[in-house]
Amino acid sequence: MTEFNDTERESKVKQEVVKQQLDRLEADVAQLKAKTQQEFYDELRNSVLEETAQAIEKMRGFGNDTISSFAIFIRGMKR
């Protein structure tokens, strides 16, 4: 009888492990959902705007306040 209980307990543990793995896999798949065309566009736009703001911050033709203002304005254009 003890061997049967041990086997049953092991089976339940294995079932729980498999269930947890499936739950994690489902969560991973949910995160990989396809982006809409608008989401893709917005992500690309934000990336370009951030790159532009970083490039402006490297400029040394104006004062720091002016450069910071330009960068803030550009970052404000993100969606």
Task: Give the pLDDT confidence of 19-49 residue by residue, as tens digits.
Answer: 999 989 888 887 788 889 999 999 999 999 9
Using CA atoms, how far apart are residues 40 and 52, in angstroms rounded to an integer? 18
Residues 13 and 51 in one domain: no
4 sits in which H/E element: helix 2-31
Q: What pLDDT, on the 0 to 100 scale, is given for residue 73?
A: 96
3-class secondary-structure state, position 10: helix
Write out pLDDT tens, residues 7-19: 888 888 889 989 9
User: In terms of residue numbers, what domain contains 39?
Assistant: 34-79
Q: How many domains does the chain have?
A: 2
Question: Rounded distance, CA 79 to CA 77, Å?
Answer: 7
Look at the pTM and tell me if it is higher than 0.75: no
pLDDT band at 1 (very low <50, low <70, confident <90, very high): low
d(CA 63, CA 59) in angstroms, rounded, equals 9
Residues 39 and 26 in one domain: no
Distance of CA 31 to CAs 21, 58, 77, Å? 16, 35, 26
